[in-house]
Amino acid sequence: MPAYFDSSVLLSLLVGDAHAHRARDLWHEESERVSSTLLEVECRTVLRRLPQAGVSEAARRGAERRLDAALEEVTIKPLDEQIAVMVRDTFQLGGCRALDAAHLATALYFRDAADPDLLLCTFDTRMAEIAARVGLRAVGA
């Protein structure tokens, strides 16, 4: 069964925060991982800010290499007209931030195209709440 990964889970795995063990479990439990182009954009942006938080440049580069390797294990859907239409046509997505709406619309795309039992892996409780409203099962939060 495919699982949609948002940035909160992958970032936790990459930087080793308080949720890292759960992130590792989620990542390894799912053999078919899907996401949006946003996964790379958000993760790379956050990783490039790590030195401002006191993380060494070497550690940041290591996290970016791990990101590159992780992205090779994910089927990525670009933000395109299909996703824009899904955002437009799914009224409930108005209850979340714009990037979260795009993530959720992409998860809905994969659910409709691949598997009605698609899991949404996220540590974002607000995203998990909206996911439930649109019929997605969220794990992690």
Per-residue pLDDT of the chain (141 residues; tens, 9 = 90+): 789 999 999 999 999 899 999 999 999 998 899 999 999 999 999 999 998 888 899 999 999 999 999 999 999 999 999 999 999 999 999 989 999 999 999 999 999 998 889 999 999 999 999 999 999 999 996
CA 46, distance to chain mean position in Å, is: 13
Domain 2-139: CATH superfamily, name plus number: 5'-nuclease (3.40.50.1010)
Q: 61 φ, ψ to 5°? A: -60, -40
Q: What element of type H or E holds 25?
A: helix 20-29
Q: Hey, what's the torsion of the CAs at 81, 82, 84, 90, to 10 degrees?
A: 160
Q: What is the domain partition of the chain in residue ranges?
A: 2-139
Q: Find residue 4's DSSP bridge partners.
A: 34, 120
Q: How many residues are given for the chain?
A: 141
pTM of the full predicted structure? Answer: 0.94
Site of tokens 């990101």 = 67
Q: What tokens were used for 25?
A: 């479990």
> How far apart are the C-alpha atoms of 57 and 64, rounded to whole Å?
11
Cβ atoms of residues 104 and 136 within 8 Å: yes
Calpha distance 61→8 (Å, rounded) = 19
